[in-house]
Structure 1
């Protein structure tokens, strides 16, 4: 079973997000090359999960705290 994907990790820059191992950036198990896969929050910002279809279930609390003003 896959691990639950974190919406707002504490230090996303320290981890490779390329698979379910979530390895430290300097000790990747999957051997996907020399660079780590970034967390979407690093690329798209705090509300990354509101844009697009990520295929994850977002708790209502998270939706309310990061709602986009209209």
Structure 2
């Protein structure tokens, strides 16, 4: 079973969030020259869960064509 993903950790910069390992930032187990993956709270702010991921998508998940008529 996968670990529960923390919503707003106290120090997200100390951990890599790229997989279920949650490695310390200085000891990445992914290898392959990997860099630390930032937590969504670092990228989008503490209200990252309310970010609307559907903006610009049609009902079938494809990007909508934009026209000047709207």
How does the TM-score come out when normalised to structure 2?
0.68
Higher share of residues assigned helix:
1
Residues 2, 16 of structure 1: alpha-carbon distance in 2 compared, 3 angstrom cutoff? same
Q: Hey, which bits of structure 1, 4+ residues long, moved more than 4 A?
A: none
SS at match of 1:41: helix
Higher relative contact order (CA 8 A, sep 6+): 1
Report how many aligned residue pairs link the two structures.
Answer: 53
Q: Which has the larger radius of gyration?
A: 2
Instruction: Compute the TM-score of the two structures, normalised by the length of structure 1.
Output: 0.68
Counterparts in 2 of 1:10 and 1:51: CA distance versus 1, 3 Å = same
